[in-house]
Amino acid sequence: MSAGAQGEKSARREKDPRDVPDSRPQAPAPPAPARPSREPMPVDRLERDLERLAVPKRSLFERDADAGRAALAAGPRRANPLSVLVDAVKGASGFVALIAVARVGRILSGDLAALGQTALAAAIIFVVCLGFSYAAWRARTWEFTPEGLVVRWGLANRRELTVPYEHIHTVNMSSELLERLLGLMTLNLDTGAASDEGDASKLRGLRAGEAEALRAELFCRKRFAERRADERDGVAEGEAGAGAPDRAEERPIAVFTLGGRDLMLAAASQMSAGSQALALVIMLVNGANQLIEWGMLDVVGRGEELMAGVAPIVVPVVLAFLIVALLLGAVVSFVLNLVRYAGYRVERYADRVVVEHGLLSRSSRALASERVQYVSVRQGVIRQLIGYAEVRAVVVAAVGEEDGEPAGEVVLHPFLRMGDLDGFLAEVLPCYAGVLGRAELGRLGPVALRRAMVRAVIWWPFVAAAVGIGMWLLGLSGLAEWAAWLTGPLVVAAAVLSAVLLVGLVTDALLSWRFSRYGYTDRELVLVSGGLTRCSVMVSRAHVQHLAVSANPFQRRAGVASLAIRTAASRADGLALRDLPAGSADALLAWFRPRG
């Protein structure tokens, strides 16, 4: 995958920035406007602004050399004083929202006294939260020591946490909307034990230059600590490296960005219209309930009149409402994805990979290359049809979420052409490049197809019987005749939905059997699973901690088995496969066994 070819694709790679005057990559310039006027039209300025957001010339986190030098000063340090205001606003917002919701009815009715009381209560709550935030800010410090980064906090009970440099897996840098307005960000150190560390391993209220300088210093000290560990283990000094941290200016080896066209396609292919439509319906129902409680919507006295008017057109109204909800859900999902992936950028350094994206809330995640447990390549229905995929790296992390994704998963590229996968991995994670092509992949047998079909359809007769029994009981009680105008359309809708679900499950089972693969190379294991949504996993043998082959009585009779793999990462998506031939499962188990 040449650099020239990549320039026209979503994964735009640039040569080493040290070969050009500017140390940071430059975004392609927009086409010159074909107009005689000297001043560009507003639409041209908008296009250029969107292009800068989609393909930024440099990191969205601006560099600040003075702040960076101040962050590395010796001794204990505190967050920026503006973080006191951020914490106070966050702490007070929840209480103020509860009070406002409780009094919104009186406020909307024109009660000025209620409005004044709400404003006074909000001011008192904010002042109290401001005092607590200031005290917590004074008590929380951090500093570099030879052993690790030491964080101290606590008002009544003083606490101290030491984060060893060599145990750091990822360092995430994020900035929410309120923090971004004040130029602040948060640095989150993940060692894989963050469930015990909690917020103690987070450094809040940092300037952009401070956060980036701290992250670079942490990885510098991490390399130095690992070299010292190698020397203690008997590695030659020439192989382990020098005996002092190397703080030379680092520049990325490779840079990838996401162009404007591919950014739009990535946002469109990741739409989840159903979930957004469901959230919209729930919000409307909750809003209607609130209006009823406030007395602004009277449906108690006019309930029978409303039902009588809606009954003849209930089916068209429901269908129209569902269509509108799905369309709105698709639009909302598209916009959210567009905002999320704007400014996407991945940079590879000698020992880490940095992934940055986000428009309103910015995020930059740096993961140590040697800590990557496995790489997954995911394709939904739309991406399978157009030949694109999402590439993720899984590292050791605590259970939770980071930027809307599981904490241990980092999206290396949200929209990559499958033909460019090996070239992209060769630049970002070279040890995983070409693994899918080198592995000899086996297929599932006909027995697996039969078992998959049975699992897909076995639920349908039981559900149909349960619904029939329920309708029979309603008929005996007389409720079915009283609400026939409602139960009839509901039964028809349920039957249609169950048929659609049955077809979808059968299709998914057939595609899953057709495309599932398993195999290995000398050092990597490959599993391909899924039907409508497909996941290809490449895991290094050195990172496999547990490989289990199991078979229930039905599987033993059919001559198949299930394979399950565990790594040090808490995530296990895609690391399992059902109904592969028993002989192949034993071969995989023998491949994993130590060879002495």
Question: Tell me: the pLDDT tens digits for 191-229?
Answer: 766 555 567 778 888 887 788 888 888 888 888 887 777
Q: Mean pLDDT across the stretch 440-465?
A: 90
120-129's contacts with Cβ under 8 Å and 24+ in sequence apart are: 121/96, 122/92, 122/96, 125/92, 125/95, 125/96, 125/99, 126/88, 126/89, 126/92, 126/96, 128/92, 129/87, 129/88, 129/89, 129/91, 129/92
> Would you say residue 521 has pLDDT above 80?
yes
CA distance 222 to 250: 15
Task: Please report, rounded to a whole number, the percentage of residues in the chain having pLDDT higher than 70.
Answer: 71
pLDDT score, position 129: 93
Q: Mean pLDDT across the stretch 16-36?
A: 39
Q: Give the best-scoring range by mean pLDDT among 75-79, 340-344, 524-528.
A: 524-528
Q: Mean pLDDT across the stretch 442-464?
A: 90
The CA distances from residue 251 to 208, 239, 410, in Å, are: 18, 23, 21
pLDDT score, position 249: 59
What mean pLDDT is reported for the chain?
A: 77
> Would you say residue 528 has pLDDT above 90?
yes
The sign of the torsion formed by the CA atoms of 34, 36, 39, 43 equals negative
Neighbours of 377 (CB within 10 A): 23
pLDDT digits (tens, 9 = 90+) for 336-385: 888 888 888 898 988 889 888 887 777 888 888 888 889 999 998 888 88
**Helices (DSSP H) in 55-204: which residue ranges?**
65-71, 82-108, 112-139, 177-181, 194-197
pLDDT digits (tens, 9 = 90+) for 529-544: 988 899 999 999 888 8
Q: How confident is the model at residue 404 (pLDDT cuts 50, 70, 90)?
A: low
Closest C-alpha to 145, from 217, 249, 250: 217
Q: How confident is the model at residue 238 (pLDDT cuts 50, 70, 90)?
A: very low
pLDDT score, position 486: 60
pLDDT digits (tens, 9 = 90+) for 253-303: 888 888 778 888 888 877 776 766 677 777 776 666 666 666 655 555 555
Taking only Cα atoms into account, the Rg of the chain, rounded to an integer number of angstroms, comes to: 29
pLDDT score, position 375: 93
DSSP string, 22-51: SSS--PPPPPPP-SS-SSPPHHHHHHHHHH
Rounded to the nearest 5°, which phi and psi values hold at 144?
-85, 135
